């Protein structure tokens, strides 16, 4: 797994790696491919957020409401943007992909890392340990 993505909770790390791949594919898509890539990204986000939301519900994660609200807002945007791209607004789609690339590191660093810690503590009795070859500066996009 690339440095900077892993948070130490295996199921979450796998989901995040898949998201990064879809984000990269969307960033490289031709105009003709963009709507399909955004559809793939939207489907992934729906499953990704449903899984994390389920973990938060099932474990009574204390900061769940804020985290789930952010998921819902991003998913609403993904749906709206895909519809605009289907109507010919490829620039909106490209801007959305770029914004997701900027948004995700902060979301992962703050909200997802707290959830990863919570899940590891509940399952294993301690916080996750993640070794990195080099630190990723805060805010540095993971894909793009």
pLDDT the model gives residue 132: 60
Say how many domains are in the chain: 1
Q: Residue 60 — left, alpha, or beta (φ > 0 → left; ψ -120 to 50 → alpha)?
A: left
Q: Is residue 33 part of a domain?
A: yes
Taking residues 59-74, report their average pLDDT. Answer: 96
CATH code for the domain of 27: 1.20.120.50
Taking residues 23-44, report their average pLDDT. Answer: 97
Which residues constitute the domain of residue 31?
Answer: 10-124
Q: Is residue 138 part of a domain?
A: no
Band (pLDDT 50/70/90 cuts) for residue 143 is low
Q: Is residue 5 part of a domain?
A: no
What pTM does this model have?
Answer: 0.85
Q: Is residue 136 part of a domain?
A: no
Structure tokens at 98: 């770029």
CB within 8 A of 75, min separation 6: which ones?
Answer: 42, 45, 46, 49
pLDDT tens column, 103-133: 999 999 999 999 999 999 998 887 777 766 5
């Amino acid at each position: 797994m690339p440095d900077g993505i892993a948070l130490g909770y295996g199921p979450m790390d796998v989901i995040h790696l898949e998201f990064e791949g879809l984000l990269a594919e969307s960033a490289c898509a031709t105009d003709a491919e963009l709507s399909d890539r955004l559809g793939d990204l939207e489907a992934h986000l729906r499953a990704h957020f449903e899984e994390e939301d389920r973990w938060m519900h099932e474990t009574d994660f204390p900061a769940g409401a804020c985290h789930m609200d952010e998921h819902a807002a991003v998913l609403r945007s993904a749906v709206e943007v895909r519809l605009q791209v289907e109507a010919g607004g490829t620039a909106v789609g490209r801007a959305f992909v770029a914004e997701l690339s900027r948004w995700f590191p902060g979301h992962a660093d703050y909200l997802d890392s707290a959830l990863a810690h919570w899940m590891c503590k509940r399952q294993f009795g301690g916080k996750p340990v993640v070794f990195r070859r080099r630190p990723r500066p805060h805010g540095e996009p993971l894909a793009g």
